[in-house]
């Protein structure tokens, strides 16, 4: 183990993405994370998304650095074994519908009695209370309800959903912060607590001041494509060699230098140019100038010129271009990890750098039940009992 969390044990009994991502990040930074899955079905993330040679690639990433235990929590014997594991845990992560753990005899009162000081992170679409608490929810529904889809897409087009797990990812990263706050409180007081993480709320927070704007002005932000309603130029533009670049100029000085660079310094001297809102109102004129200049130059020429002028431009990358970017490589932002099934796998590295306790990707997501015997032995469960439980389908 390496990293600042190497003294913590976490039980990740969640599925798919938001909860497992909390466990992945904590494992990356050294926590001993036990991935507890149904002994037959496992985490559905194992079969979700892209595959190679029958192996789910998403789980290879999100399951990394975890020890995998197959255990049926709905079976009384499985619940008993789970409580034994909880006895040495600091954090439990779950994303069952509200009331499910209680039905299995594993509610907060039972868990906290077994392990005083425990932090129980409960991840659901809409939270533990309220009229929608028991509704099933996937990230797509959250991206719709949060306001994200309403704000995303072209002005005359339909609401647009992301092609990846945005809501779950934002919630997972937020969940790490919530768990660490609860652990900080425990360090000061000895008290554990429940983290009630609704996937809806972190994404709504990530959208910025759209609620404050509606509350204070009555305006509801609408779709504006790649443009910003607060500034210009801000868009994507195509180069002469068929690549795309993004330009942003949130600062007034950057916007002026951009227009000087593209040969339209006259626009920067117009009265309306001195404010972001003024520039946004004249985005057609600004975009035409920027698009014409970029469209007559190659990607390399555009990047060099914008860099020298100290204005903001970046190429639009696909996955391969990101991995091969010199800045990404210099940062070590992509890790190459050996996998017993697929050989070397490249994936995103640590979420952030720590100078003294950086953490590491130690291994990829392991097979269902790969560590059951080891983990249960550590919990004091005899090999004979494990064998009988396995025969009964309670463990894998």
Concatenated DSSP letters of 184-218: HHHHHH---EEEEEETHHHHHHHT-THHHHHHHH-
Averaged confidence pLDDT in the chain: 97
Count the domains in the chain. 2
Choose among 33, 9, 37, 10: nearest CA to 369. Answer: 37
Provide mean pLDDT across the span 360-377. 98
Examine the residue annotation and report whether 168 is marked as an active-site residue of this protein.
yes
List, for residues 154-190, the tens digit of each pLDDT value.
999 999 999 999 999 999 999 999 999 999 999 999 9
Predicted confidence (pLDDT) at residue 193 exceeds the cutoff of 80: yes
Residues 280, 346, single domain; the answer is no
Share of the chain above pLDDT 90, in %: 97
The sheet with strand 312-315 has its strands ordered as 235-238, 244-248, 312-315
Which residues, other chains included, contact 229 with Cβ-Cβ below 8 Å and sequence gap of 6+?
221, 280
Q: Based on the domain organization, do 139 and 113 belong to the same domain?
A: yes
Express each pLDDT in 264-308 by its tens digit. 999 999 999 999 999 999 999 999 999 999 999 999 999 999 999
148 pLDDT more than 80 = yes
* Pair (306, 190) in one structural domain: no
| CA atoms within 13 Å, Cβ hemisphere of 239 | 20
One domain for residues 334 and 311: no
Residues 358 and 249 in one domain: no
- Distance set, CA 333 to CA 18, 245, 319, 350 (Å): 21, 21, 13, 7
Across 59-63, 227-231, 364-368, least confident range: 227-231
The DSSP bridge partners found for residue 325 are none
**Mean pLDDT on 95-115:** 97
- Give the domain-ending residue among 315, 341, 357: 315
The active-site residue, picked from 12, 43, 72, 168, is 168
Residue at 230 is within a domain: no
Do 49 and 112 sit in the same domain of this protein?
yes
8-state DSSP, 71: B
Look up the domain containing 268 and give its range.
Answer: 244-315
For the cut 80, the answer to whether the pLDDT of residue 1 exceeds it is no
Q: Are 254 and 313 in contact (CB under 8 A)?
A: no
pLDDT in tens, 304-345: 999 999 998 999 999 999 999 999 999 999 999 999 999 999
Q: Is 298 exposed, middle or buried (0-12, 13-18, 19+ CB in 10 A)?
A: middle
Residue 352 domain flag:
yes
Three-state SS for 338-366 is EECCCEEEEEECCCCCCCCCCCCCCCCCC
Q: Are residues 96 and 202 in the same domain?
A: yes
Q: Which residue has the higher pLDDT, 222 or 330?
A: 330
Based on the fold, state whether residues 181 and 292 are members of the same structural domain.
no
Tell me the whole-structure pTM to 2 decimals.
0.95
Q: Please tell me the predicted confidence (pLDDT) of residue 250.
A: 83
């Amino acid at each position: 183990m390496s990293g600042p969390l190497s003294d913590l044990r976490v039980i990740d009994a969640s599925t798919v993405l938001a909860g497992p991502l909390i466990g992945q990040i904590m494992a990356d930074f050294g926590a001993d994370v036990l991935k507890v899955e149904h002994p037959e079905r496992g985490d559905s993330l194992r079969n979700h998304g892209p595959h190679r040679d029958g192996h789910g690639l998403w789980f290879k990433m999100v399951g990394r650095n975890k020890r995998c235990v197959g255990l049926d929590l709905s079976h009384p014997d499985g619940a008993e074994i789970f409580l034994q594991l909880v006895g040495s845990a600091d954090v439990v992560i779950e994303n069952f519908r509200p009331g499910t753990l209680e039905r299995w005899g594993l509610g907060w009162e039972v868990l906290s009695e077994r392990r005083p000081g425990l932090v129980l992170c409960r991840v659901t679409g809409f939270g533990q209370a309220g009229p929608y608490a028991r509704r099933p929810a996937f990230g797509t529904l959250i991206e719709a309800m949060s306001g994200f889809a309403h704000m995303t897409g072209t002005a005359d087009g339909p609401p647009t959903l992301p092609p990846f797990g945005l809501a779950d990812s934002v919630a997972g990263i937020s969940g790490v912060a919530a768990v660490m706050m609860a652990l900080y409180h425990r360090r000061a007081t000895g008290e554990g607590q429940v983290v009630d993480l609704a996937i809806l709320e972190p994404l709504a927070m990530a959208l910025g001041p759209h609620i404050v704007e509606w509350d204070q002005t009555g305006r509801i932000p609408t779709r504006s494509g790649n443009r910003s309603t607060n500034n210009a130029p801000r868009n994507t533009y195509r180069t002469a060699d068929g690549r795309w670049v993004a330009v942003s100029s949130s600062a007034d000085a950057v916007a002026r230098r951009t227009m000087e660079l593209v040969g339209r310094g006259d626009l920067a001297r117009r009265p309306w140019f001195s404010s972001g809102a003024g520039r946004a109102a004249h985005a057609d004129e600004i975009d035409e100038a920027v698009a014409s200049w970029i469209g007559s130059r190659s990607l390399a020429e555009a990047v060099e010129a914008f860099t020298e002028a100290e204005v903001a431009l970046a190429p639009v990358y696909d996955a391969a271009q990101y991995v091969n970017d010199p800045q990404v490589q210099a940062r070590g932002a992509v890790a190459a990890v050996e996998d017993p099934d697929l050989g070397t796998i490249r994936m995103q590295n640590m979420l952030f750098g720590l100078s003294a306790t950086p953490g590491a990707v130690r291994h990829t997501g392991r097979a269902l039940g790969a560590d059951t015997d080891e983990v249960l032995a550590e919990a004091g469960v005899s090999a004979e009992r494990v064998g009988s439980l396995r025969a009964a389908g309670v463990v894998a």
